[in-house]
Amino acid sequence: MHVLTQVVLVAGGSALGGLLRWGVSAACGRLFGTAFPWGTLLINVSGSVFLGWFSTLLSQRYLAGASKWLRPEDLQLLVAVGFTGAYTTFSTFEFEADKLWRDGHGLLSFTYLASSVVFGLAAVRLGILLARDP
């Protein structure tokens, strides 16, 4: 039964995060135009701030007793994995890079950042090429 609860938490958080991502992106497109991806930039930066804030509060046990029916690990699934994961995966990427940095692995953090961006862009290009007609 606990696994089912976790599935529902991730799915519910994902639905809300995805809807917010769509809304923010659409609003930015209307306000600022679509020549530059302002919506994605705002989403990625705000998601990173939010995940850093939320994860810090959760890890410092500020939120441990915030809910009588959700344990901290369930709250993590709902908010960090579900909501923020659907809102932006960039926030998780940045948070993990920051953790490497805080743990004293500066070179590894930079390597992770650079390789994720370079290989991610290459993967997008590969996907585009694979989808095109021969």
Give the pLDDT band of residue 64 (cuts 50, 70, 90). low
Evaluate if residue 89 carries a pLDDT over 80. no
The arithmetic mean of pLDDT across residues 112-118, rounded, is: 92
What residues have CB less than 8 Å from 101, skipping those under 6 apart?
109
Report pTM.
0.76
CA distance 76 to 63: 10
Residues in the chain: 134
Average pLDDT score over the chain = 88
CA distance 84 to 14: 7
Q: For 105, which DSSP code?
A: -
Delimit the domains of the chain by residue range.
2-88
Sign, CA torsion 35/115/102/93: positive
